[in-house]
Amino acid sequence: MLHASMTVDPAFRVAPVHRRTFGSFVEHMGRCVYTGIYEPDHPAADADGFRTDVAELVRELGVTTVRYPGGNFVSGYRWEDGTGPKDRRPVRRELAWHSTETNRFGLDEFAAWTRKLGIEPMMAVNLGTRGLQEAIDLLEYTNHPGGTELSDRRVSNGSPQPHGIRMWCLGNEMDGPWQIGHKTAREYGRLAAETARAMRMSDPHLELVACGSSGPEMPTFGAWEAEVLEQTYDHVDYISLHSYYEEHDGDLASFLASGAEMDAFIESVVATADAVRAKLGAKKRIQLSFDEWNVWYRMRFEAREPSTEWPVAPRVIEDRYHVADAVVFGSLLISLLRHSDRVTAASLAQLVNVIAPIMTEPGGPAWRQTTFHPFALTAANAAGTVLRVEPESPVRETARYGAVPVVDAVATHDAEAGEAAVFVVNRATDEPVTLDADLRGLRAEGVSSCLTLHDDDVYAANTLERPDRVVPRENTDVRLEGGRLRAVLPPVSWTVLKLALPRS
């Protein structure tokens, strides 16, 4: 059996746990909106057409923010189309995902849905086919109290109170040649800076996100961030990161090490942002918004036959997630928490049906994918302060990422509540790990719970027929004596330990 050890001490502080780390993403793509969160004819629909069974799962998931309406979709979106009487809204072709958009769900429905669920909305503006004027018009519609043409239009459309959206994305993936209105870094940086300045004339307290690279594999990665930030540094608060992970050619070991790639991506963007800060002599530090991340089998999607039809809400990238996917997913959450000093917002892409933790059937049930569980348990248990944990662990060579530790972990400490949580992953494909943890600095009094997500079949998944095939289970092979914890972690597993501490 493999052995690993670590120390969890409240002195090893990283940053506060940011609730925005547990954000998600709703795009007009596939069935995320229609038959996902919105299905007026569903037996569980409320008076506004929102599926209450999905809403209950979103609450259980612990989502705090939702980015909307895209994604690639936003780069061709006319926000006005989704406002006003539904029978007068235009039906349009949607170029990004080659579908037909009915606009039955739009801005005001989204704002109403987030209010019902107590979620902070995060809005993206179209800097692909549109620009500065449309962005400030949208801001006036959403946030101005009244007395102007656009704010009064919102009132007449049934939303007397402003939507109060504070966080705004200045476009989406503008570095990508697939993006409608794709731009060079210089072109985008100038437009983003102009748009940000104009939006701040309306409200200087907005939080604005400039587009970073669409992934670390982009040929312009690094140079894009540097150019964009040189033009926008004084006008934005965040630079975005997007990255997706998948298993390639049966290489499970490399797939399980995906968190190492996320770590490197984050640290490269931080280095670039700080280099621009030094060059400009700026005082503030740019924060990171990792506003698209997930496991996504993109190669399958890209290998599909292109559609010649324009369907409404087709079944698009509805990946079915298995145990290994969930373990990788949990390890990505560990990486996000570990970098909470700079990653202060994140959005799991997406929320329902489209590469999502929640699945639905039209007119039928909703259920949890395997990835639902690490997100929900991390959102529920991570509180207070993130603690740096550096396990002493065996390493394994991987084809994609080189030597990577078998065990990765992070912890959080909530002194006021008298609780701590440790999140740990065993990346070994065929061996359990005995983990020894020194908790004396925490003065841990006991293990409140220890839940492990694992299955002997690493490709087992939850389905409509068996929605609870894979769930976290109590790990009974754990004990705490004299401030030292010992636990056995099965291969390909993700675990959360909840610890009881003296209250401060």
Q: Which of 176, 175, 146 is nearest to 162 (CA)?
A: 146
pLDDT at 263: 98
At residue 220, what are phi and psi to the nearest 5 degrees?
-95, 5
Tens of pLDDT, residues 294-307: 999 998 888 888 88
What average pLDDT does the chain have? 97
SS3 of residue 260 by DSSP: helix
For 422-437, what is the mean pLDDT?
97
Element (H, E) at 479: strand 478-481
Helix 258-280 to helix 223-232 angle, to the nearest 10 degrees?
40
The residues, ordered by sequence, that sit 6+ positions from 232 with a Cβ below 8 Å of its Cβ are 170, 189, 192, 193, 196, 210
Question: Confidence band (pLDDT; 50, 70, 90) for 277?
Answer: very high
The CATH homologous superfamily for domain 18-381 is: Glycosidases (3.20.20.80)
pLDDT at 308: 85
CATH 3.20.20.80 intervals, the chain: 18-381
pLDDT at 301: 85
pTM score of the predicted model: 0.97
Residue type, 118: G
Q: Are strands 385-387 and 395-398 parallel, antiparallel or unpaired?
A: unpaired
Q: Which of 249, 162, 156, 243 is nearest to 202 (CA)?
A: 162
> Could you name the CATH architecture of 2-9+386-500?
Sandwich (2.60)
The residues, ordered by sequence, that sit 6+ positions from 421 with a Cβ below 8 Å of its Cβ are 381, 382, 383, 411, 412, 496, 497, 498, 499
Q: How far apart are CA 252 and CA 271, in angstroms?
A: 30
Residue 64 tokens read as: 């705090």
Q: How far apart are CA 494 and CA 31, in angstroms?
A: 29
Question: Confidence band (pLDDT; 50, 70, 90) for 16?
Answer: very high
pLDDT at 307: 80
Residue 504 tokens read as: 């401060």
Please list, residue by residue across 33-51, b when 16 or more beta carbons sit within 10 angstroms of its beta carbon and e when fewer do: bbbbbbbeebebbeeebbb
User: Catalytic amino acids?
Assistant: 173, 292
Cβ proximity of 1 and 42 under 8 Å: no
Q: How far apart are CA 39 and CA 113, in angstroms?
A: 13
Tens of pLDDT, residues 116-174: 999 999 999 999 999 999 999 999 999 999 999 999 999 999 999 999 999 999 999 99
| Res 450 pLDDT > 80 | yes
CATH 2.60.40.1180 intervals, the chain: 2-9+386-500
Q: How far apart are CA 196 and CA 201, in angstroms?
A: 9
